[in-house]
Structure 1
Amino acid sequence: MKEALSMIEDDEDFCRKTEEIILYPPLNACEDLTDEDSGDEFDLSLNNLPRSQLRAASEVKFHSDDEWSSDDDVPLSTLTKSSKHIRNNNAKDKKKYNWENIDLTPETSTFENETIVGNRMTPIDLFSLFFYDSLLQLILDKTEYYAQTKNRTQLIEMSELKAFLGVLILSGYAQLPRHNAALNQQDKFAKLRPLFEHLNKKLLELAPHEQDHSVDEAMVPYYGRHGCKQYIHGKPIRYGYKLWTGTTRLGYVIWFDPYQGASIEKTSDFGVGATVVLNYANVLQERWPNTAFHLYFDNYFTSVPLLEEL
């Protein structure tokens, strides 16, 4: 691994043509020793990865040699799929479309009751909106349960938990236990899934009512050790977790889901990107039924079957 990286770094032409380098998560992220490192725990370079990550698949994407400088500028008609993401033989892919040269007629429905939320709260007030009492009680219950599995009695007060969370926010790092009961082996974020579900529920509950929404990916910076950490070359945030996000036009996050790798992602016949859009559309419809929204997303998510489904 170290020698291979050295060769890549020394090849200027390789670095210039490289668009992104993706390290896929290992398949045993919920098993033992997922956080064990192959070297000094304070060495956070790519030369210092756990054995499971070193054996995981990786992918290098190069810039195309044509006039287009990025995938965002490439027309849909010229995009091609890599051999790893060959279309499945299903009815949607084989469906034939009859194209007509006509203007689209927009719907004249009126979007009502749009809300604008001001921010006059203190940081602790905003924090309390999402980390409310029932969520904190869940953390306390899981902590006490874990202590019992270790034959210990650990009673923690709510005030102690809040102080501990404050320390984690200031330090920016939390090392989770490697063993837990009844984990979903297909979910690499099984230990954090209850927290994600609580936050998504609260984000949706407090969301402003707006017509325009964006579906895209976001990077959460992280330099520690975890099987789902991504490295994407040429991005402002190169190391961290990639999240699928649905937001309002002003950037308020309504829904998010961490990316776990192509081999784990739950997708429909439409593909990974289109499934993300449809999942977010379902979230909006459940929250505001019988309301018409405008969804914006780039060509990574776009396909003709998706547009027809929407």
Structure 2
Amino acid sequence: MTHDVTGIIQRRQEVLVESLKDCSPVMLFEKIFDDNVMSLIVENSMKYAGQHNRHSFETDKPELRTFLAILCFTGYHELPSERAYWSLNEDLSVPLIANCTSRNRFSDIKRNLNFVDNSLAEGSNDKMFKMRPLCDLIQKNSCQWGVFHENLSIDESMIKYFGRHPAKQYIMGKAVRFGYRSWAATSSDGYCYTFDIYCGKSTEVSIDPLGSRVVKSLLAKMPIVPKEHVVYFDNFFTNYQLLHDLRLLGYRATGTIRENRTKICPVTDVKTMRKKPRVDYDYRFDTKNEIIIVRWKDKNVVTMGSNFDAVKGGVVYKNKKWMYIYQDCLSIITEAWVE
């Protein structure tokens, strides 16, 4: 079945490459930020300006595209301040931007930029209400070609933000400590299919822990045939019940797993495993639910769970003398190592 699935995915990728091979980077960008997205921003920005008695403000799609292009440019060409891009000083001036639009006009568009009708906010408990329509459109456009990767990864990321917002998070130990916490389902090479901004504890009653809810909700948003894909995630998300539930839904799934989430699986304990030689392992297989739990000794002890993988394979690693050593181990390790 694996070879059949791989063939289906490869054919899907070939069709996509053929349909997009003549597209420039700008054309590809406009496949995601299409006319529907531009119309949403233009209409709601003008409506927002009117609601704040700035009735003279008007804009259109070409001007909005110029505005977005400047934002993209300033993302990698950084100057001390926004105003500096229109400076007359030789060491600061950027004619490319100054020739596109004036500083005051750029500030005016930025001041009125909006993605939703604020009059609809009353009664909404969604902390990301102002961004939700834009996020939904971008996710829809990201999935317009279907899911054309076999291996999918679900993880979290931080979107840097230092302002005030009820959804802003502080996570100690992260490279970006302040900002929006985002969940994302991506391909193994980084293409983002769907995402969601974490808005704090949900009011909905659920027996599933947060990690399980995130995985299930992201997969539910994708136009996906479960049996065609393998889902990988880390120990924040993985638990025994999630692997079982995904198997019932048809997904093949593998992830690192915390010791207290293995449903008391009787594999060798972490303390004993630390004394074992590198690449030594122990595992248990649940024949009823077809879930395997593996505890493996690398530089540290790693515990992994899978609802589909139970075949032996091998892995090559460097020992302390920098010699390459081949060691038998379960393919659950070699597959996850690659991913």
Q: Provide TM-score, normalisation by structure 1.
A: 0.56
**Helix, strand or coil at the partner of 2:158:** strand
User: Does the C-alpha gap of structure 1 residues 305 and 161 become closer, same or farther in structure 2, counting only changes over 3 Å?
Assistant: same
Q: Which residue of 1 aligns with 2:125?
A: 186
What code does the residue aligned with 1:137 have?
S
Q: For the Cα contact (< 8 Å) 1:144–1:153, is it kept in 2?
A: no
Provide the rounded CA distance (Å) in 2 between the counterparts of 1:215 and 1:209.
16
Q: For the Cα contact (< 8 Å) 2:154–2:185, is it kept in 1?
A: yes
Q: Map 1:82-231 to 2 at 5 A.
A: 110-111=4-5, 112-114=7-9, 115=13, 122-151=24-53, 152-171=55-74, 180-183=118-121, 185-206=124-145, 209-231=148-170
User: Does the C-alpha gap of structure 1 residues 166 and 288 become closer, same or farther in structure 2, counting only changes over 3 Å?
Assistant: same
Q: For the Cα contact (< 8 Å) 1:113–1:209, is it kept in 2?
A: no
Q: For the Cα contact (< 8 Å) 1:231–1:239, is it kept in 2?
A: yes
Identity %: 32
Deviation, 1:182, is: 1.1
Q: Map 1:273-288 to 2 at 5 A.
A: 273-284=211-222, 287-288=223-224
Equivalent of 2:195 in 256, 272, 277 = 256
Greater CA radius of gyration, 1 or 2? Answer: 2
Deviation, 1:282, is: 1.9
What code does the residue aligned with 2:60 have?
E
Q: Which residue of 2 aligns with 1:34?
A: none
What code does the residue aligned with 2:8 have?
N
What code does the residue aligned with 2:58 have?
L
Q: Which residue of 2 aligns with 1:33?
A: none
Deviation, 1:281, is: 2.4
Provide the rounded CA distance (Å) in 2 between the counterparts of 1:163 and 1:265.
41
Q: Which residue of 1 aligns with 2:253?
A: none
Q: Comparing 167-176 with 151-160, which one deviates more in the overlay? A: 167-176
RMSD: 3.0
Q: For the Cα contact (< 8 Å) 1:207–1:252, is it kept in 2?
A: no
In the alignment, structure 1 segments of 5+ residues that lack a partner are 1-106
Provide the rounded CA distance (Å) in 2 between the counterparts of 1:200 and 1:134.
13
Q: Provide Cα deviations, 1:133-157, integer angstroms capped at 9, x if missing partner.
A: 1110111111222233234253322
* Structure with the largest fraction of strand: 2
What code does the residue aligned with 1:136 have?
M
Deviation, 1:267, is: 6.8
Deviation, 1:108, is: 5.8
Q: For the Cα contact (< 8 Å) 1:215–1:245, is it kept in 2?
A: yes
User: Does the C-alpha gap of structure 1 residues 123 and 256 become closer, same or farther in structure 2, counting only changes over 3 Å?
Assistant: same
Q: Provide Cα deviations, 1:5-40, integer angstroms capped at 9, x if missing partner.
A: xxxxxxxxxxxxxxxxxxxxxxxxxxxxxxxxxxxx
What code does the residue aligned with 2:237 have?
F
**Helix, strand or coil at the partner of 2:37:** helix
Equivalent of 1:294 in 230, 253, 272 = 230
What code does the residue aligned with 1:212 have?
N
Provide the rounded CA distance (Å) in 2 between the counterparts of 1:236 and 1:290.
33
Provide the rounded CA distance (Å) in 2 between the counterparts of 1:293 and 1:259.
25
**Helix, strand or coil at the partner of 1:163:** helix
Q: For the Cα contact (< 8 Å) 2:147–2:224, is it kept in 1?
A: no
Q: Provide Cα deviations, 1:253-274, integer angstroms capped at 9, x if missing partner.
A: 1110011112x47573212110
User: Does the C-alpha gap of structure 1 residues 230 and 290 become closer, same or farther in structure 2, counting only changes over 3 Å?
Assistant: closer
Deviation, 1:191, is: 0.6
Q: Provide TM-score, normalisation by structure 2.
A: 0.52
Q: Provide Cα deviations, 1:146-179, integer angstroms capped at 9, x if missing partner.
A: 2332342533222222222233334569666799
Q: Which residue of 1 aligns with 2:94?
A: none
Q: For the Cα contact (< 8 Å) 1:259–1:265, is it kept in 2?
A: no
Aligned length: 201
Q: For the Cα contact (< 8 Å) 2:48–2:117, is it kept in 1?
A: no
**Helix, strand or coil at the partner of 2:8:** coil
Q: Which residue of 2 aligns with 1:235?
A: 174
User: Does the C-alpha gap of structure 1 residues 108 and 124 become closer, same or farther in structure 2, counting only changes over 3 Å?
Assistant: closer
Structure number with the bigger relative contact order (C-alpha 8 A, sep ≥ 6) is 1
